[in-house]
Amino acid sequence: MQICFINRLENIPRFCYHELLSVAGNCRMCLVEDVKSLKPVVACTLIPMEGAVIYTQTKKIKAAREAMLEFILINHPLDCPICCQGGECDLQDLTEIVGTDRGRFYESKRAVLNKNLGPLIKTLMNRCIHCTRCVRFSIEVSGISTLGILGRGGKMEIGTYLESFIDSEFSGNLADICPVGALTSKPYSFKARPWELEGFILLNMFDVFLTNIRIDVRGNNILRILPVYNTMFSNEWLADDVRYSYDSLYKQRLLNPSILINKFLVFQS
């Protein structure tokens, strides 16, 4: 089967698409032009056919992506300077590359209540763009159906069906896969900016798989641990006990040897 892509595939923007999750096609940012179609088609749901010719960087496609990005930014707050995702936000990057330099929306933005997703995930649902990455991850990877889509149209939002937080050992990955600042890490919140950190790629010595992890440090302090995509294991998920294992270096750390006497921990000098 021969398929001709006129431009580079790396230049196709996307929000909802993730290599390790199912295809949703919600954001409509990966629009491409097929010579056999009158309208732009979504690249992530496009079924390859024999002899297809796909254009990824035409004036028509650029105008369509700019319009879709403007539509996404209708209800997104303009609080990038105080956002924990600042500097690592896909929406920031694509707005600079694909978006326009002015907006045409002068109405009031909608407000969405924040959700309680536990002690590890901080939620600011006003920033959510409904990419459903978190919903697909919780169902397909974590194996829980706590998160879902509530409402329709202008009242659509991501949340829990019941008033409960996410009870999963992989909940920290929600902050990694979120393309905007709707889901961020609570322990790392307001501690540093990405350009202040220095990352080191190391082996994960906390489990038997020895996967790759990235440790971000500022000075002599470890501020966070992130997963690194490993083609051998075909995943980039990291368990919470590994992700937040550096807490033992700063909180409740034993500085002196101790012994248990009559169910009491006695420190030895």
Reading the chain (269 residues) residue by residue, the pLDDT tens digits are 445 555 555 578 999 999 889 998 888 899 999 888 888 999 988 887 887 888 888 899 999 999 999 999 988 998 888 998 988 999 999 998 888 888 788 888 888 989 888 888 999 999 999 999 999 999 998 888 888 888 888 888 898 877 777 778 888 899 999 999 999 999 999 899 999 999 998 888 777 777 788 999 998 899 999 988 877 765 678 888 889 888 878 877 777 777 777 777 676 65
Last residue of a domain, one of 80, 97, 114: 97
According to DSSP, the residues that pair with 261 across neighbouring strands are 264
Q: By C-alpha distance, which of 143, 128, 133, 129 is closest to 22?
A: 133
- Assess if residue 200 is contained within a domain: yes
* Whole-prediction pTM: 0.85
Residue labelled with tokens 């707005």: 95
Q: How far apart are CA 251 and CA 135, in angstroms?
A: 32
**Pick from 73, 97, 121: which residue ends a domain?**
97
In a domain, 32, yes or no: yes
Task: Please identify, among 37, 65, 97, the residue that sits at the C-terminal boundary of a domain.
Answer: 97
CB 204 within 8 A of CB 194: no
Partnered with residue 118 across adjacent β-strands are none
**Residue 136 falls within a domain, yes or no?**
no
CATH number for the domain that contains residue 59: 3.10.20.740
Quick check: is 138 in a domain? no
Question: Residue-wise over 155-164: b if at least 16 C-beta within 10 A, else e?
Answer: eebbbbeeee
- Residue 183's identity, in one-letter code, is L
- Establish if 155 belongs to a structural domain: no
Six-digit token string for 43: 């690249």
Q: Which domain holds residue 45?
A: 3-97
pLDDT at 4 (0 to 100): 57
In a domain, 56, yes or no: yes
Q: Could you give the strand order of the β-sheet that contains 221-227, starting from the edge strand earlier in sequence?
A: 198-203, 212-218, 221-227
The DSSP 8-state label assigned to residue 108 in this structure reads P
